[in-house]
Amino acid sequence: MKKDNFGICINFYAVLGFVLALLGHTTLALLLLGFVIVVHKDQWLTMQVMQAFFLSIISGVVSAFIGILSPLYSIPILGALISTLFGIVTSIISLIILILAIIGIINTAKGADANLPLVKGFANKAFGIVKNVTYTQSAPQDPNNSNNTQN
């Protein structure tokens, strides 16, 4: 296991990032990301903590969106339906974030890439890692020039 100048395994910081994301501490995750970028300058570690930070941002954005729509709960009869619907959506998203954070904790504790869907793409874009896709297309056929000319 690779250790830093403080004698701490660098995997610890990645695991800590996912624990902070799991608990919903976006500000602490941002501070940890800043610490990792400035002090450690390790690309793997920065990518993992960045994935954890983006996971906590997604959780925060969903919570803020639900909070903005919470005045709709005061509508008679319809408010109860909206409240129930938003509660179910929030619960499902929280469950997905819980599962992703646990996967991230397990993978980074082993020293592997967390490789979480969606947030890995954000982290790759932040690092400037872009997947190049090449499309090939055959030349267009000229309908006037055919090899089957009949006399």
pTM: 0.76
Give tens-digit pLDDT for 31-44: 999 999 898 888 88
Helices marked H in 24-149:
26-35, 43-68, 78-109, 119-127
Top-confidence residue, 141 or 49 = 49
Instruction: Work out the burial of residue 29: count CB atoms within 10 Å of its CB; fewer than 13 is exposed, 13-18 middle, 19 or more buried.
Output: buried
Cα Rg, the chain, nearest whole Å: 24
